[in-house]
Amino acid sequence: MRVDSYSFGRIVLQGTVFTSDVIIYPGRVDAAWWRKEGHLLQVEDLAEALRMKPGVLVIGTGYYGILRVPRETVERIAASGIDVKVEKTARAVEVYNELERAGNVVAALHLTCWSQRPAGSDRRLLLCDLRVPCERHAARSM
């Protein structure tokens, strides 16, 4: 399943537009993917993808690279024989598209994060997935 395009907060897969984080499997897309701790990727967040035993797992960390992927997470996945590639999402899409022809690749893509100043406030909130205010980053984005 090739990615047609990716831009800030938007990915197009075979003509279908998605505006939330996705996991791309061979032949299908999980558009309801969400992580246990928002911007911290843990092995448990990828349980279904790892059960598929892909040869390669491509992780997109968002437009600005906000999603944190701890070394321990990468090491645990790699220990199971899966090659892990972690990139900002624009580059992750390029890597995925280069590898997807081989068929044994899965991509977990965080599409975006951005900051926004709520009306009447002097604080900025970092919003994620075009859906939910991310309180975890509110103090950092002021």
The CATH classification number of 3-137 equals: 3.40.1230.10
Q: For residue 112, name the pLDDT band (cuts at 50, 70, 90).
A: confident
For residue 140, the model assigns a pLDDT of 39
For residue 132, the model assigns a pLDDT of 40
Q: Is the dihedral of CA 104, 100, 73, 9 positive or negative?
A: negative
Identity of the residue numbered 83: D
Each residue's pLDDT tens digit, 49-94: 999 999 999 999 999 899 999 999 999 999 999 999 999 999 999 9
Q: For residue 133, name the pLDDT band (cuts at 50, 70, 90).
A: very low
Position of tokens 């600005």? Answer: 64
Beta bridge partners of 126: 115, 134
**Length of the chain (residues):** 142
Each residue's pLDDT tens digit, 8-31: 899 999 999 999 999 999 999 999
Distance CA 66, CA 112 (A): 8
Identity of the residue numbered 75: E
User: Pairing between strand 22-25 and 105-110?
Assistant: antiparallel
As to burial, measured by CB atoms within 10 angstroms (0-12 exposed, 13-18 middle, 19+ buried), residue 44 is exposed
Per the confidence metrics, is the pTM higher than 0.85? no
Q: Which two tokens stand for residue 29?
A: 């897309």
Cβ neighbours of residue 6 closer than 8 Å, sequence gap 6 or more: 12, 89, 90, 93, 109, 111
